[in-house]
Structure 1
């Protein structure tokens, strides 16, 4: 059996990819990476170890079926970089803070593949459109049931088809990457994380109003948190051309602003806020059993601690309109091959000059993101079992040239200040 934790797996099926569903609530994944990263960025290893150990107590886990292959592998030192699939589903727990309508089945309405380069200088977050039409491989679901391979399936049904492990295997087949780690977050996790960091500043070019999500914003800059932040991330009809493709680029506006705030310190200068952020993310997540160790999470955070906004790249998985159905999309073969090749080769890349998506534009009035001063480290305590010295240093950054992806691949770096575009409808 190949070592999926250290080398790319071969694709497990030819993937066709299609476009978006017209109804149903959407969950935004802010996620595990942001939560653990934030803890270390400002406070250092000791607070990270204490906070993450406490926050992971009682976290639900599921098996991806790769535990033997991942055992003993340090997530911060994987050859070729580490891959983590982050999923936001539309399921609702009893007692949820969210009243967002009825749920017809369970869907992975937001799916982001996070690839951390082996030298820890670039984090790529690839968003997969939920209405992408694909061929799904056979998989063993979280419930142990075998689900047969199927052709021409909507991507956001893979979670309901067999759970997190089936979504992971589908993305592995589409990209050719091995994905040894995964996590799923709830609506309430989004609300609590936005509250923990004191909100996220979002620029809007013109009114965004959507009765489905409940968002109503005038043109200008707004600090969004709680239910309003979730409504912004859920809105589709309110941004761009009203498509899920536009929603992805609008979500990238929010995520980029959030990451700039986390990296610059801002309100994250005190231990209490950092602990709240880690707790908000982890207490509202289900983790793969390969990712439920506090030591693993702290090592991941340490691998991210020196990354800068320009090194965080948000990308939409390349698609074109589905010739069978104008309301769906399929894989853009050439562009998807270019993106997959760069990720499999762990190659640094930037996006073209005109790479904005359907729901965002550059904010020419915003200052350029700068590298923040180093945050002071905390004094170690006897409670810590993970220390800087116990975490292998990242490999030295290579001198390999950075490539530019085709301009038809959309996205942005976290260093770019962008604005969401209100819908013209």
Structure 2
């Protein structure tokens, strides 16, 4: 049951398009959808300023005790694999930032939402992947809309032991299905990108961090007031005149939560990116590390605001990470939103990944290709990766049993019938006469992969991949198989030869990604007409 809006502000319920979701814009039967929060940018700030406040052992221990920690992943076996190190031994770092809409504290409840959500698991209403390149010369920030329908893997809550079966639902529900570790596992399965760490922050954390930094510049092209209207309930309360304003505290939270006034959830992601880019520029121009008093205030606010995956749960580790982030110039930072399309099962409310365009972004992240074109020639080209050494097969092709599985089904397309049989015949023609099709049913995998269970079969798996024209990078060890197994993914729906895949190039972003460069201070938000005043 919905409660009346607090102080005249109704719970949010607008859709992606215009100011609503059909007549009245309500989401009948889905109170969780009204709990919205846009808080991730404070997390980045927390990382950037943490380290310098570590003077003094007792104070250092105090800061450490502030930080909440949790298990990195709570999902089943991940499909993602770390990007191989380059020739210099460097690897990229991927951090998932999560904004929780939990109202399970007096401070968070006061800042927004209805009391009927108290005690319920929070939703991961804001999700953004921060990618730091292996050479630390560029960075990417990639958002996935909260109402994207995805396959969610089986997850186990690390605190209660409760097991949540695999399902298909919108991605913001993952936080309530095993914590941030389930959100991370879902991202890995969707993108194929290995995620090293996660961080979460809530309403109160955003306010305290925004106060600590002293404000961030934002811009609107028209006067804006995000308030309830006769046609649409909800609103963040943001009220600004046209032009540039420095927002902090509650007003910063209002900016990050605003959706109706921008016209859609997707435009809210753009506003978030603008805020974060402006915040990074602000930090880069401030002498934070030489002002000890201010630095202590920032560190205190940051450590109290964060919950992080346990492997980075100390000030020292966060400091080291902060220094790496701090070194990236703003013109080498690119923020994008995952290209998406309307979900035919719930158009106007939910979206699906725009597969071809979204996959291009995931491939760029996997290959550590910069999303910008602003690097020098030596920067925008990949530093040579350490290759996978060729292994000698353990047996002749004719004696090797190979299982072929059909995994061409996707969230938008049904499986291609007969694919496993077709590819097993191709293998037979290549001398793998014991290759056979798995008849147990079709799977769903975005990418084709050749799996093997133990080191003694790695050479055989490589040879099978070579026979089919599959790149050696797609040969993976897995505990899910008992022998060499070819999983034919949605990227190989037709033909008997694995399709040639062009290597992604720096800055070659797909359409629909809504890219913003971190150095662009001219960005302003357009205000949807009903919310202009």
**Bucket of the pairwise TM-score, normalised by the shorter protein:** 0.7 to 0.9
1:405 matched residue in structure 2: 509
C-alpha separation between the residues in 2 aligned to 1:199 and 1:50? 30
Task: Tell me whether 1:149 sits opposite 2:160 in the alignment.
Answer: no
C-alpha separation between the residues in 2 aligned to 1:91 and 1:245? 22
1:321 matched residue in structure 2: 342
C-alpha separation between the residues in 2 aligned to 1:51 and 1:227? 28
Equivalent residue runs for 1:187-198 within 5 Å: 187-198=203-214
Change (3 A) 1:52 1:190: farther
C-alpha separation between the residues in 2 aligned to 1:215 and 1:160? 28
Of 216-225 and 278-287, deviating more is 278-287
Would the aligned equivalents of 2:208 and 2:249 in 1 still touch at CA under 8 Å?
yes
Q: How many positions carry a matched residue from both structures?
A: 351
The alpha carbon displacement at 1:277 in A equals: 2.2
Would the aligned equivalents of 2:41 and 2:275 in 1 still touch at CA under 8 Å?
no
The alpha carbon displacement at 1:94 in A equals: 2.5
1:112 matched residue in structure 2: 128
1:144-188 deviations in Å (ceiling 9; x for gaps): 22211112x011111012211111100011111121311110111
1:327-371 deviations in Å (ceiling 9; x for gaps): 21111001111000000001112289xxxxxxxxxxxxxxxxxxx
2:277 matched residue in structure 1: 256
1:358 matched residue in structure 2: none
2:441 matched residue in structure 1: none
| TM-score, structure 1 normalization | 0.75
1:100 matched residue in structure 2: 112
Change (3 A) 1:84 1:252: same
Equivalent residue runs for 1:385-424 within 5 Å: 397=379, 399-400=381-382, 402-417=506-521, 418-424=523-529
Change (3 A) 1:49 1:109: farther
Higher-Rg member (1/2): 2
Would the aligned equivalents of 2:124 and 2:174 in 1 still touch at CA under 8 Å?
yes
Would the aligned equivalents of 1:112 and 1:125 in 2 still touch at CA under 8 Å?
yes
1:231 matched residue in structure 2: 254
Of 92-101 and 283-292, deviating more is 92-101
C-alpha separation between the residues in 2 aligned to 1:319 and 1:297? 33
Change (3 A) 1:259 1:61: same
What is the aligned counterpart of 2:286 among 265, 276, 282?
Answer: 265
1:132 matched residue in structure 2: 148
Task: Tell me whether 1:173 sits opposite 2:189 in the alignment.
Answer: yes
What is the aligned counterpart of 1:347 among 369, 380, 385?
Answer: 369
C-alpha separation between the residues in 2 aligned to 1:213 and 1:205? 18
The alpha carbon displacement at 1:266 in A equals: 6.0
SS at match of 1:315: strand
C-alpha separation between the residues in 2 aligned to 1:88 and 1:197? 19
1:303 matched residue in structure 2: 324
What is the aligned counterpart of 2:69 among 34, 49, 61?
Answer: 61
Change (3 A) 1:246 1:108: same
The alpha carbon displacement at 1:107 in A equals: 0.5
C-alpha separation between the residues in 1 aligned to 2:196 and 2:134? 15
Change (3 A) 1:202 1:118: same
SS at match of 2:293: helix
The alpha carbon displacement at 1:399 in A equals: 4.0
SS at match of 2:209: helix
SS at match of 2:65: coil
Change (3 A) 1:51 1:398: farther
Would the aligned equivalents of 2:54 and 2:60 in 1 still touch at CA under 8 Å?
no
Task: Tell me whether 1:183 sits opposite 2:183 in the alignment.
Answer: no
C-alpha separation between the residues in 2 aligned to 1:302 and 1:116? 12
RCO comparison, higher one (Cα < 8 Å, 6+): 1
C-alpha separation between the residues in 2 aligned to 1:52 and 1:304? 21
SS at match of 2:66: coil
Task: Tell me whether 1:29 sits opposite 2:134 in the alignment.
Answer: no
The alpha carbon displacement at 1:93 in A equals: 3.8
User: As a proportion of its length, which structure holds more strand?
Assistant: 1
C-alpha separation between the residues in 2 aligned to 1:32 and 1:48? 24
The alpha carbon displacement at 1:85 in A equals: 1.0
| TM-score, structure 2 normalization | 0.61
The alpha carbon displacement at 1:39 in A equals: 4.9
Would the aligned equivalents of 1:319 and 1:330 in 2 still touch at CA under 8 Å?
yes
Gaps of at least 5 residues in structure 1 are: 1-17, 70-76, 353-395
Task: Tell me whether 1:82 sits opposite 2:93 in the alignment.
Answer: yes
1:199-252 deviations in Å (ceiling 9; x for gaps): 11111111221122111111111110110110111010111x2x1111000111
C-alpha separation between the residues in 1 aligned to 2:93 and 2:60? 20
Change (3 A) 1:49 1:92: farther
Change (3 A) 1:252 1:277: same
